[in-house]
Structure 1
C-alpha cells in the first residue's frame, strides 16, 4: 500500500487501496495509517471506468464519500471505513458534508477524474469548489503534461 503524496497536511493513498482490501481482506491489511500532522486523507477509488473519492477529515474524525455523479457505493465505503477503523481511526460518516452543495456534479460521462482531483484540491486548500474549478482543472492537467513532456 503506497501513500503517494504527503504535503500541506494531506496524505493521499494510491487508487489500489480498495482492490487490495478486497483481495486481502481487511484483517490481512497492514494497520499503519499515520495521521500525525495530517488534516485530510484522500482515498481515490476507481471502479468500472468511474472515479470517486473518500475524504477523511482527521481533525473532525469524519469520513465522506464524494462521487461526481452523486452515486453512493455502500460496499466501498464500508470496506474503507473498516480498514481505517482497524488502523485505529474512529470515524463517523459526515452525510451533511457529502450532501452539501459544495461539490458540483459532472455534466457528462467522462470527467469524473477531473472532478475528484478538483474536489481534493479544493478541500485541501479550503476553497469553494465550483464548475469553474472543473474547467480550470482540465487546463491545469493539460499544462502539467505539457510542462513535463514538451
Structure 2
C-alpha cells in the first residue's frame, strides 16, 4: 500500500481472504482488488467461482513508529504459516530484525 507494508492471506480451503495491517487500517480497496484477481483467475481456468468471505484482521501486534511495518508484515506471514498465535509485540522487533538477517544469510529458516 504505497510505502506501507501489509499482508493479505487467501485461504483456498476456507474460502477466506484476510487483510493484516500493522496500523490496523481497514483497506477494503486492497481486499476488493485481490478478490477480483482470484475471481478472474478462476473464470480464466474455468473453475467454479465460489463466494469468499473477506476480513480485516483485528487485535494485531501494532507498530509504534513509521518503520517497522515490513518486519511486522513478515512476522504476520510467518506466524500464519506456522498456524501460531501472534505472541509478539513492538519490543520484539529488534530480535526479529536480527533473526531475519541471520535466516537470509544462512538461507535457512529458524524454528
Identify whether the pair has TM-score above 0.5, normalized to the shorter chain: yes
Alpha carbon RMSD of aligned pairs, Å? Answer: 2.0
Asked if residue 94 in structure 1 is aligned to residue 48 in structure 2, the reply is no
Tell me how far 1:58 sits from its aligned partner: 1.7
Q: Report the structure, 1 or 2, having the larger strand content.
A: 1
Aligned position for 1:79: 33
Conservation of the 8 A alpha-carbon contact between 2:31 and 2:54: no
C-alpha distance in 2, partners of 1:94/1:77?
8
The whole-number CA distance in structure 1 between the counterparts of 2:99 and 2:23 is 22
Structure 2 stretches lacking a partner, 5+ long: 43-48
Offset from partner CA, 1:46-71 (integer Å, 9 cap, x none)? x3211011111222110111111111
Partners of 1:133 and 1:56 in 2: how far apart?
Answer: 27
Counterpart of 2:45 in structure 1 is none
Calculate the TM-score normalised by the size of structure 1: 0.57
- Of the candidates 98, 101, 105, which is equivalent to residue 142 of structure 1? 101
Contact 1:118–1:134 (Cα < 8 Å) also in 2: no
Distance in 1 between residues matched to 2:25 and 2:13, nearest whole Å: 26
Q: Number of paired residues?
A: 98
Unaligned 5+ residue runs, structure 1?
1-46
| TM-score normalised per structure 2 | 0.75
